[in-house]
């Protein structure tokens, strides 16, 4: 497995310099919570954010490792899952798409990661050091509200994920999983077009590419998605969320 793009505080700084860089001007607009900060706080946060490219299959977070960064997806697609090496049944908790931030619960509790985060495709990920994360919590009401809203929406997402686990019909599993990736609060960068392949969706849902293809055909015929080149659109998110086969 490739080395981590964002090494822990105990790793050599030379490694971090070789794997990460500062924000580019065009990337700042993809970090929506920056606009909620006062100018001087936004300047500090922007300066401390690091960006790295993550290759397909590379682990960004690993079960049992101390949380040292708060992460966000500038571009790409990640998978949050359990530790398949120690579990009889691998479980995918959720996908993390463009604009999504995660790991705040781990940093708030000062604990180790309880999940793996793995890239499903070439992705660009931003990381904020834990010290800066807590520094902003101590100074910004807007940032606190954003993090609280994140935690609340994430709770709802995981409750929905438990419901998805109990669904036996593949078309319904695909519909609910797609709806989760279009979450307007957790993944504001997705917009109305989700860039995803059938293979990537299969990894998230736990189905073969062929079965995902059948489900997408059915969902498009039902009018809840529109399959486009390189991805798909959702004309009615609520209809997709409540789709039944």
Tens digit of each residue's pLDDT, the chain (245 residues): 344 566 543 333 333 445 789 999 889 988 999 999 999 999 999 999 999 999 999 999 999 999 999 999 999 999 988 766 555 566 777 889 999 999 999 999 999 998 899 999 999 999 999 999 999 999 999 999 999 999 998 888 777 767 766 667 899 989 988 998 998 889 988 888 888 999 999 988 888 999 999 999 999 999 999 998 888 999 989 999 889 88
Residue 20 C-beta-side C-alpha neighbours within 13 Å: 26
- Report the distance separating Cα 80 and Cα 93, nearest Å: 5
Predicted pLDDT of residue 119 = 94
The pLDDT score that the predictor gives to residue 11 is: 38
The domains found in the chain, sorted by start residue, are 13-155 (2.60.120.10), 169-241 (1.10.10.10)
Please give the structure tokens belonging to residue 197.
């392949």
Q: How far does the chain reach from its first CA to its final CA, in angstroms?
A: 39
Q: Spell out the alpha helix ranges (H) of the chain.
A: 13-19, 25-28, 39-48, 104-108, 130-137, 141-166, 170-181, 198-205, 209-221, 237-241
Model-level pTM? 0.82
Contact 233, 225 (CB under 8 A): yes
The DSSP letter of residue 35 is G
| Cα 163 to Cα 148: distance, rounded to the nearest angstrom | 23
Cα separation, 242 vs 155, whole angstroms: 19
- Residues with Cβ within 8 Å of 13's Cβ and at least 6 positions away in sequence, in order, are none
């Amino acid at each position: 497995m490739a080395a981590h793009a964002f090494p822990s505080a105990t790793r050599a700084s030379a490694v971090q310099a070789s794997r990460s860089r500062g924000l580019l001007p065009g990337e700042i607009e993809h970090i929506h919570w920056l606009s909620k900060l006062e100018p001087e706080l936004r300047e500090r946060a922007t300066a401390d954010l690091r960006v790295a490219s993550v290759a397909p299959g590379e682990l960004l977070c690993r079960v049992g490792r101390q949380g040292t960064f708060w992460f966000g997806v500038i571009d790409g697609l990640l998978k949050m899952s359990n530790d398949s090496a120690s579990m009889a049944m691998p479980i995918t908790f959720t996908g993390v798409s463009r604009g999504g931030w995660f790991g705040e619960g781990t940093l708030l509790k000062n604990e180790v990661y309880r999940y793996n985060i793995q890239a499903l495709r070439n992705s660009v990920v931003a990381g904020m050091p834990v010290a800066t994360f807590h520094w902003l919590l101590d100074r910004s009401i807007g940032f606190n509200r954003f993090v609280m809203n994140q935690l609340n929406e994430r709770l709802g997402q995981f409750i929905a994920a438990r419901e998805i686990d109990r669904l036996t019909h593949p078309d319904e599993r695909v519909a609910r999983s797609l709806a989760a990736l279009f979450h307007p609060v957790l993944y504001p960068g997705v917009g109305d077009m989700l860039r995803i392949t059938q293979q990537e969706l299969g990894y998230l849902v736990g189905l073969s590419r062929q079965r995902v293809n059948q489900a997408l055909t059915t969902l498009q015929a039902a009018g809840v998605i529109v399959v486009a080149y390189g991805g798909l659109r959702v004309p009615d998110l609520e209809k997709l969320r409540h789709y039944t086969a």
